[in-house]
Amino acid sequence: CSSLVPSSLSRFLPTASANPKAALKSKIVAEFRPQSLIDELLLYKRSEDQIELKEKQLSTMRVDVCSTETLKCLKGNVSR
């Protein structure tokens, strides 16, 4: 890591013995893998988009909510 930092700035970097919190933060930053976060965010976004689509589809449907048969059909479509 120190080879990536100019020697004139290395004296400002915290050392593990000087500040354990800074060392932990440095470790977290060094081990951070943005691709896994991006993948998780994309999955979340896709899920949100699916929910929004289903809500729009349901809002445009004319459904007799008193009909148990209709509700069974809707429930069957959602669980698949």
DSSP for 7-73, written as a single string: HHHHTTSPPTTT-HHHHHHHHHHHH--HHHHHHHHHHHHHHHHHHHHHHHHHHHS---TT-HHHHHH
Tell me if 16 is assigned to some domain.
no
The tally of domains found in the chain comes to: 1
pLDDT tens profile 33-49: 889 889 999 999 999 99
Output 65 or 16, whichever has higher pLDDT: 65
Tell me if 68 is assigned to some domain.
yes
Structural domain for 26, as ranges: 21-77
Q: Residue 62: pLDDT above 60?
A: yes
Output 28 or 9, whichever has higher pLDDT: 28
Tell me if 47 is assigned to some domain.
yes
Tell me if 53 is assigned to some domain.
yes
Tell me if 6 is assigned to some domain.
no
The letter for the amino acid at 40 is E
* pTM of this structure: 0.43
Question: Across residues 19-46, what is the average pLDDT?
Answer: 90
